[in-house]
Amino acid sequence: MSSWTEITTSGALAVVVFDAIAAFASRKMEVPYGWATVGSWILYAGFGYLAARAFPAAPIQAAVLTGVVLGLTDATAGWATSWVIGAGRVAGLTLAKWLLTALSVAGIAAGVAALGGVAA
């Protein structure tokens, strides 16, 4: 069985790779980049499930913490990757707006990952 750290690190990498693929697909197929949100939620839930299985002493806490890490990764490295590719850009983005967005994404990711943890 993989450790919580390996699962969470793999999840963070998966989120960034998914954001890159979604950004390319959005540009090539001319669909809104925001549609990829569903894919992110699936990743959060799946890695939350795996994290809960890897840490049976506190499965929900492990899933939630994994969700927070994945959400913050999504709102930083993932978003930056998509911006470089040309998708997901927001006009007038300020530090305050970005911080609010990052906290929101981390909270949603934690909740979705917790649901994955409950399933485990």
pLDDT band for position 75 (50/70/90)? very high
Please write the tens of the pLDDT for every residue from 33-74: 889 999 999 999 999 999 999 999 999 999 999 999 999 999
86-118 residue pLDDT tens: 887 778 889 999 999 999 999 999 999 999 999
Q: Note whether 81 and 19 are within 8 A (CB).
A: yes
Global pTM reads: 0.93
